[in-house]
Amino acid sequence: MHINLAVGYGGRKEITDAMRSIVAAHHADGGSLETLADLLTPDLIGEHLYTGGQPDPDLVIRTSGEQRLSDFMLWQSAHSEFYFVEALGPDLREVDFLRAVRDYSRRHRRFGG
């Protein structure tokens, strides 16, 4: 099981940093913009995210009663299931977590379909 906590994190900045990393690496290898455009794929971008090498989250638990992403794992959560809970992050109890997992286990994943 992987657990990611968002502390001082911004998803848009992460995507921007990933693109900068890709461009810098391509430039260092002597590549042109034209060849870079041909190389760009969702997988390549994903490899350069802060979570590169980790699986995308199956479940995102959103605390504080808000029903929005708040710039959290924008790229990685495209096919994630979401669970919303009223508790604030620091106040999340084990029972809240277990309810989220139970709710998730009853869902039929469609991966965007």
Supply the DSSP string of 77-112, one letter for each residue: TTT-EEEE-SS-GGG--HHHHHHHHHHHHTS---TT
> What pLDDT shows up at residue 24?
97
Clarify whether residues 80 and 68 are in a common domain: yes
Clarify whether residues 68 and 101 are in a common domain: yes
> What pLDDT shows up at residue 103?
97
Distance CA 67, CA 8 (A): 19
Those residues of the chain that have pLDDT short of 50 are none
In a domain, 2, yes or no: no
> What pLDDT shows up at residue 113?
63
Structure tokens at 26: 């391509």
Distance CA 18, CA 107 (A): 32
Residue range of the domain that includes 84: 56-113
Clarify whether residues 39 and 89 are in a common domain: no
Closest CA to 74 of 14, 2, 16, 11: 11
> What pLDDT shows up at residue 89?
85
- pTM for the full model? 0.84
Clarify whether residues 48 and 61 are in a common domain: no
